[in-house]
Amino acid sequence: MATDWPFDDQNDGPGEGLGNAVEYSVSELSFALKRTVEDTYGYVRVRGELGRVSTPASGHVYLDLKDDKAVINGVIWKGVAGRLRIRPEQGLEVIVTGKLTTFPGQSKYQIVIDSMEPAGIGALMALLEERRKMLAAEGLFDDARKKPLPYLPRVIGVVTSPTGAVIRDILHRLADRFPSHVVVWPVRVQGETSGAEVAAAIDGFNALEPLGPVSRPDIIIVARGGGSLEDLWGFNDEAVVRAAARSDIPLISAVGHETDWTLIDHAADERAPTPTAAAERAVPVRSELVGMVDDLGVRKARALWRHLEQAKQGLRSAGRGLPRLTDLLALPRQKFDAASQRIEQALIANTRILRSRCERAASQLTPRPLDRLVEQKRQLCQQATDRSARAVARHVERARSRFGSQAKLLDTLSYQSVLKRGFALVRKADGRMVRTVENAPDGATLTVEFHDGTVGVHVTGAGPVPPRPRPAGRKPPAPDDPQSSLF
């Protein structure tokens, strides 16, 4: 394959024979190297250990593939990452297939990975055992934290693929044993995103409100059919184990067949060997439950009948030991007859005694003490009456004096006294007083009140107020006279 090269192959080094060498730009040289690497190697299959693994928000996966002597950068595009059978994790030994290329922007070469598989079961088992020990050390697998399963759950939540045979087996088994309300949270049960989706489903069921639009389940079943270790690897995800451990709802793990074990089986409250067995452990057999209830009802009725029979026999036995009614009433009847005979004589004797006491008391009674008491009360009443009359007279006199003073003051302050001195009160037709010339326009009808009557007037013109004539012999005060009259 011919490749442009800036050096002459017949010279010993880059320092000789460069006079006719082709001049490249940085971009031309970078893309020439990119084409050379891609054309020379194409698709390759590489085995190594995963070093740094990062997944930014774009969804692409960037990683390092290394051995004890070298490191190759790798990238898995978002569409390919969702189809991988295993999730890339640091420390996992894998075999990848992809196209070798370069990244001209940073002068690096990398492998664009199209497929990834573990480098043997031993590598996955070693990683699985290491993760199991770490989670067990945190107490996530302790039996003390496992919750008992409810005997008869009202709602059952199932985390599985909605299109597989697992959900059909679970629904069929529940219908046979005890028809229940089932809520399915659809997830992928295989692939790189399987673990994250299962963990989100467990947390989502726990976040539901008991009385919300979607009923919160009383028990959760995480189920998947059988498969290889790589197929079940999503249920060994650390996020899945932690979600199962912190679930407040009891959880049954039914992943794979009876011989398949995953880490969620250790964290779940109970493990079922198959999804069908999980449905059997979630609910009892309805017919058996109805039969048991009927049997308990029969046993209860028999026990109640036996209890009543025993009480009836005990009552009969106790009745035979009681005396007859006539015997119980004989002595009280005799006492009553004797008392009836004595009561008439006792009443007559008691009446005589009371009569004699009244006669003795009547002989000692005279009206004189009563007359004296009545006379004393009469005198006290008369004295009180006299004192009250005098007090009322004094109060009336003081009130009359105050009333006279107030009447004089009222007469002095009344405008009637002012009218008697020659003044008049001018009102409009509506009764309002006229105080100034402005309030008496031309043509207005007014009422003039004197001290001895009222007359009506009609205003025909208004002019300045004429000066009041002064008495004869009195000179007008000087303008500067401080003692000038106020009038």
Average pLDDT, stretch 405-411? 84
* Three-state helix/strand/coil letters over 245-303: HCCCCCEEEEECCCCCCCHHHHHCCEECCCHHHHHHHHCCCHHHHHHHHHHHHHHHHHH
- Segment 138-170, tens digit of pLDDT: 888 888 889 999 988 999 999 998 888 889 999
Query: What average pLDDT does the structure give for the chain?
Result: 82
CA–CA separation, 90 vs 64, rounded Å?
Answer: 9
Inform me whether the pLDDT recorded for 103 exceeds 80.
no
Residue 333 Rama label (left phi>0; alpha psi -120 to 50; beta): alpha
Inform me whether the pLDDT recorded for 457 exceeds 90.
no
CA–CA separation, 207 vs 209, rounded Å?
Answer: 7
Residues 161 and 115 in one domain: no
What is the reported pLDDT for 9?
A: 46
Give me the CATH number covering residue 58.
2.40.50.140
Inform me whether the pLDDT recorded for 10 exceeds 50.
no
Using an 8 Å Cβ cutoff, are 145 and 245 in contact? yes
- Crossing angle (nearest 10°) for helices 121-137 and 238-245: 30
| Amino acid of residue 392 | V
Q: How many residues does the chain have?
A: 487
Give me the CATH number covering residue 209.
3.40.50.261
| Amino acid of residue 32 | A
**Which of 64, 97, 119 represents a domain boundary (last residue)?**
119
Residues 86 and 205 in one domain: no
Inform me whether the pLDDT recorded for 1 exceeds 50.
no
Inform me whether the pLDDT recorded for 486 exceeds 50.
no
| 284 inside domain | yes
**37 or 215: which carries more pLDDT confidence?**
215
Q: Is 54 helix (H, G, I), strand (E, B) or coil?
A: strand
| 138 inside domain | no
Residue 426 sits in which domain range? 421-456
Number of domains in the chain: 3
Q: What is the pTM of this model?
A: 0.45
What is the reported pLDDT for 485?
A: 45
| 5 inside domain | no
Inform me whether the pLDDT recorded for 365 exceeds 90.
no
Report how far Cα 293 is from the mean position of its chain's Cα atoms: 39
Using an 8 Å Cβ cutoff, are 213 and 206 in contact? no
* Residue whose tokens read 């990238």: 75
Inform me whether the pLDDT recorded for 306 exceeds 50.
yes
What is the reported pLDDT for 199?
A: 92
**19 or 343: which carries more pLDDT confidence?**
343
Q: Is 68 helix (H, G, I), strand (E, B) or coil?
A: coil
- Segment 179-188, tens digit of pLDDT: 889 999 999 8
| 328 inside domain | no
CA–CA separation, 181 vs 185, rounded Å?
Answer: 13
- Give strand pairing partners of 143: none
Residues 114 and 159 in one domain: no
Categorize the per-residue pLDDT at 311 as very low, low, confident or very high, splitting at 50, 70 and 90.
very high
